[in-house]
Amino acid sequence: MKNIIILGSSGGNLYSLGGKNPDGLLKELLVQMEAAEFHCAGIQFIAAQTSMDHIKESTPASLYIWSEEEQRPVIASKGTLEEINQAAIAQDERLAAMIANGEVDGVILMSASPGGANRLAIEAAATAQLPVTGTGGTSMAAAATKGLKVISTSGTTGTTNRTRAVSFITSLSKHWGKSYRPVIGQVSHGQGMPQGTGFSRINIRGIMLASLPGFIAMALILAASQIPGLTALSQVFDIMIAALPVIIAVVAAKQVAELDEVSIVAGIVAGVLSVNGGIIGGLIGGIGAGLLANYLFRKCVEWRFPATTVNIVAGGVAGLVAGLVVYFFIAPIAAQAGEGIRTLLENLVQANSALAGLIAGLLIWPAILGGVYHAAILPIVLLEMERSGNSFLGAVDMTGLVMVSAGITLANIIAPQDKGAAAVAAPGFLINIGFGTFVEAAYPFMFASKWVFGGAIFSAGLGGLLVGVLDVRGIAYVPAFAAPFSSNHIAGFAIAMLGSLTCSFVITLIINLMFKNRKKKEAIL
């Protein structure tokens, strides 16, 4: 196992690109080192509380070193920068001695100080001709004059903690002829192995769920635009609808590539070029950008491109290529596919809206319990919202799930079967009403009684029936008092919501009272 030491500081430009979070910066490095089966033999990292482009000797700072006992970076001392620089001298001497004794195989530099805090270690590394890699244009140039064996170097601009770490470890691995597969994903130190390829991280359900806040923001604008004096917000609503493919593309690229800001940029570029394809086009563009960013990043690192160039290629070129493919070839097909799904649903609803609403309401609880809701229903809701900001199935969601859950929890607050039930029900009811979500709050009561479960399905069917009869389009995930204003029929949606809430409340209340009466009779006997 190769022993690596890390030398440097939070830097000037580096400070804005991860250096102000030394724990995260060092953690990312350690994750990549572990993936390559390298061992951290020592750290000397000076973290200041401001950019070193505008530093003073009185600036608060900390000295990070490596704890062999705890196997993690620890803060050895805190104080002013002047005091920390003095404390760093002792660590510099220790690391230089380790190099001289043959205990170090390679060095990573980040905004190091070859003529100051890192002088002895860098001179020892030059004497031993250890392979050195690092970032920081000025510091790396100064380090090179010391006779170091620099195998790769780059400026800091455009890099992230992850891309720098992967670049460093790739360079060292290639130098020693070792195999190394970067850890790309949310992996904490200690897990050690990559979380699969880009293809394995494609999760349509996860992308849609993560994009939902953007759709809800659009719906809130729609609701606000109904208020007298705020009608000008309708123009904002149009802008937000047009931006939905970009939101989807960014989330998709981020989840697939897992390259922090690089994948976000790739997603934005691809999303902007995919808007003509709607959210399906944005989804395809974002996934393509993520896959391509991941591939180009790995290749550019293998080709030893400077880290800044790696990020430009992985973020800019990947997003551009994926976006152009969607723009010229996929967007028309994607737009037609989205329109086809919406048209099919509209035709089914128009054929018999009452029956469609009833069936949707009766099936909504089995769908969410069976995992079908997030996998199939939510994407259709988002496709409907892309056109008008609200949805038929979204209205069934609010009436059949959220309001039914609110009714069940309200009944258990007023007349619980046991004392502890009210404490469980109260937070759920407040979230149902205040945020339009957390239907899971009803689960404990539904699973405890088949009658409550049956009442929930019946109430959801009623809510869906009212949605169909009144021809309502709406959404969930917003406060109950605001939901009607985001619909196409304010009074109709309010009636449907109150109908399902009242139905589930009354059924659950009756069941709870019957249970309590039976318990009293059993106690008397």
Domains present along the chain, CATH in parentheses:
2-176 (3.40.50.2300), 352-523 (no CATH)
Q: What is the pLDDT of residue 193?
A: 32
Q: What is the pLDDT of residue 191?
A: 34
pTM over 0.85: no
CA angle (264, 268, 272) in 5-degree steps: 170
Q: What is the pLDDT of residue 265?
A: 93
Tens-level pLDDT at each residue, the chain (525 residues): 899 999 999 988 888 888 888 999 999 999 999 999 999 999 999 999 888 877 788 889 999 999 999 999 999 999 999 999 999 999 999 999 999 999 999 999 999 999 899 999 999 999 999 999 998 877 888 888 889 999 988 777 777 888 889 889 999 999 999 988 887 654 433 333 334 456 777 888 888 888 888 888 888 888 888 778 888 888 898 898 889 999 999 999 998 987 878 899 999 999 999 999 999 999 999 999 999 998 998 888 778 787 778 888 989 999 999 999 999 999 999 989 988 988 888 898 899 999 999 999 999 999 988 878 877 788 888 888 888 888 999 999 999 999 999 999 999 999 998 878 898 899 999 999 999 988 999 999 999 999 999 999 999 999 999 999 999 999 988 899 989 998 999 999 999 999 999 999 999 999 999 988 888 777 776
Q: What share of the chain is helix, strand, coil (3-state, %, to 5)?
A: 65, 10, 20
C-alpha span between 422 and 429 (Å, rounded): 10
Nearest to 411, CA basis, from 400, 424, 399:
424
C-alpha span between 50 and 61 (Å, rounded): 9
C-alpha span between 283 and 343 (Å, rounded): 20
Q: What is the pLDDT of residue 518?
A: 85
Nearest to 192, CA basis, from 10, 1, 14:
1
Work out the end-to-end distance of the chain between its first and last CA atoms, rounded to an integer number of angstroms: 76
C-alpha span between 34 and 362 (Å, rounded): 51
**Angle between helix 261-273 and helix 233-257 axes, rounded to 10 deg:** 130
CB atoms within 10 A of CB 315: 30
Q: Is 524 exposed, middle or buried (0-12, 13-18, 19+ CB in 10 A)?
A: exposed
Q: What is the pLDDT of residue 358?
A: 96
